[in-house]
Every structure is written in C-alpha cells, then in structure tokens.
Amino acid sequence: MSSFQLVAAVWVLVSIAAAFYVSRLAFRDTRAPAAALLAAGATLAGAVYLPQTLRDTARAARRFEHQWRAERHSRLGPSECGSEIHRPSACVRTRAMDDVRRVIPAHDRYYVQTRSGEVRFWAFTSLLPRVAVRDPHDAQWIVSFRRDPRDLPLKYSTFRRIEPVFESGTGFLVVGRIAQ
C-alpha cells in the first residue's frame, strides 16, 4: 500500500467520523432522521472528495505555471486553453483575442460565424462587454472562423484578418464591419 493510499484510507475514516458527528448534531437540533441523514451525506460527500479536489487543483496550477513559463518568450505570445487536455489546437492565442477586442468597440453587437466550439466559447466569454447575437442581421460585426463572411447576405464596410488563432500557429479569423 502506497503512502497516498494509506492517507486516503485514513481520510475516509475521518470523513465517516465527521459525518456521524454532524448527523448527531442535526438529529439533536431537529429530531428529524431525514435532516440528520441529509447532513451526514453532505458532510461525507464533501469530506471524501476534498483531497481529490485539492490534488486536481494543484495539478492544474502546475500545468498552467508550466504553460506560462513555456510561452512567456514565444513570438506568438501566451494562449488560453479551453480544454483540460492541453492540445495546441484547443489553445487560443491571447494576442488574437486582444486584436479582436481592439477592432470591435465595447458594447457593440457581433455574430460568430463558425462551427468550432472552442472559438465560439472563447468569443462568448472573452469579448465581453461586447454583445453576442444569434442573428447576423442584429449584429454590427461578424467574427468568422473557417467560414467566409461573404456567405452571409450582408454588406460590409471593412474586413480585418487576424492570425494565428491557435497555439499551433494555425487558423485565422476574419472580422467584418457590417455597413450601416
């Protein structure tokens, strides 16, 4: 038995003891067996998963620290990964994000034209306070990835190509200003 397994077994016993103690307190205060059982279950669930949660948090912190150290001198700049699994195709360059933020004014409306879930998620979360819309006719801007914005039945006043999008050095965005 490894030291981690021993500590985990002892922690489970401590968690069971804590759940028993909490259930006794809940039953003493409420005289309701259901409340005591609910309190014990909540305590046990939280206590049992605490070490795993702490370990996962420490691993994520080490992974992001390693990523930051590796990228701080990159000519493409740092990236943000939307996936637990570090894949260069899942990491969007922050410089690309910054460029889109500079092009689209705050509080303007934009439509994301893509099939990429990672780019869509990035746009909806990283472009705030800009407002995403479902219908391109309600937008002032089109953010297009792997699609041609001219496929939409709109007229544009300007286009701006932003690349690379991904950490792998691939992909580009086209940001189009819809003519008013």
CB-based burial label for 89 (10 Å; 0-12, 13-18, 19+): middle
The position carrying tokens 């701080």 is 72
Is residue 30 pLDDT above 70, yes or no? Answer: yes
Beta strands in 83-132 (DSSP E): 91-93, 109-113, 131-132
* 36-68 confidence digits (pLDDT tens): 999 999 998 888 888 888 888 898 888 878 777
Any bridge partners for residue 80, and if so which? 92
Is residue 85 pLDDT above 70, yes or no? Answer: no
Q: What does the pLDDT read at residue 28?
A: 93
CB-based burial label for 180 (10 Å; 0-12, 13-18, 19+): exposed
* 96-129 confidence digits (pLDDT tens): 888 999 999 999 999 999 988 878 888 888 899 9
Is residue 83 pLDDT above 60, yes or no? Answer: no
